[in-house]
Amino acid sequence: MQHLVSMEHLAVEEIENLIQKAMQYKAGEAVPNLKGRYIANLFFENSTRTKCSFEMAEHRLDMKQINFESSASSVQKGESLYDTCRTLQSIGCDALVIRHEQNHYYEPLLNMGIPIINAGDGSGQHPTQSLLDLMTIYETYGRFEGLKVVICGDIKNSRVARSNYHSLTALGAKVVFSSPDVWKDDSMA
């Protein structure tokens, strides 16, 4: 897998493999050697938990970080996301973590030849949060098949709800939503 951009793009086996690897890493087993690799964190939306979680994980993996600030970059002069990413790739970044307000921002970037990790796109997807949620569920229940999971709140605008819905249903859980009508999303009924 070169990119992690959407739970919809992952096969069940890939999801299960990622959860197993994460559990091994958590236990201190088989942690990959990424010392000296460069990763750029591009957060075009404010973030506390996701941004800090990525930074902490990158530190623990001995990666070198470039924390891109759009407010102090050529983006302010009209540079495109593609050109920004191409620049970061050309100066030696090995991977890009991106949070962006636009749904599917990553589509034009997928053929650049650099791994893209989606840290949230508009109301589209948040695959890394979904994987964390899945791991927590698996650690608690040891399975997904036959579980009933309730997701509450603003479903229509929640990238996490969308990612969890796709992954949980693919893994055999039944997902139920609870929200006021104005926050419902009929595409996930």
Rounded distance between C-alpha atoms, residue 168 and residue 174, angstroms: 7
In 3D space, the residue among 136, 137, 127 whose CA is nearest the CA of residue 161 turns out to be 127
Rounded distance between C-alpha atoms, residue 57 and residue 63, angstroms: 9
50 carries an active-site annotation: yes
124 phi/psi in degrees, rounded to 5: -80, -75
Helix, strand, or coil (residue 182): helix
77 carries an active-site annotation: yes
- The answer for residues whose C-beta is within 8 angstroms of residue 108's C-beta and 6 or more apart is 81, 82
Burial class (CB in 10 A: 0-12, 13-18, 19+), 90: exposed
Of 35, 48, 49, 148, catalytic: 49
Of 3, 100, 126, 159, catalytic: 126
Given the structure tokens 């506390």, which residue do they identify? 48
Of 3, 84, 99, 166, catalytic: 99
87 carries an active-site annotation: no
Of 50, 156, 159, 162, catalytic: 50
CA 105 to chain centre: 13
3 carries an active-site annotation: no
Q: Cα–Cα distances in Å, from 177 out to 27, 127, 128, 168?
A: 33, 19, 21, 13
Rounded distance between C-alpha atoms, residue 86 and residue 67, angstroms: 16
Catalytic residues: 49-50, 77, 99, 126
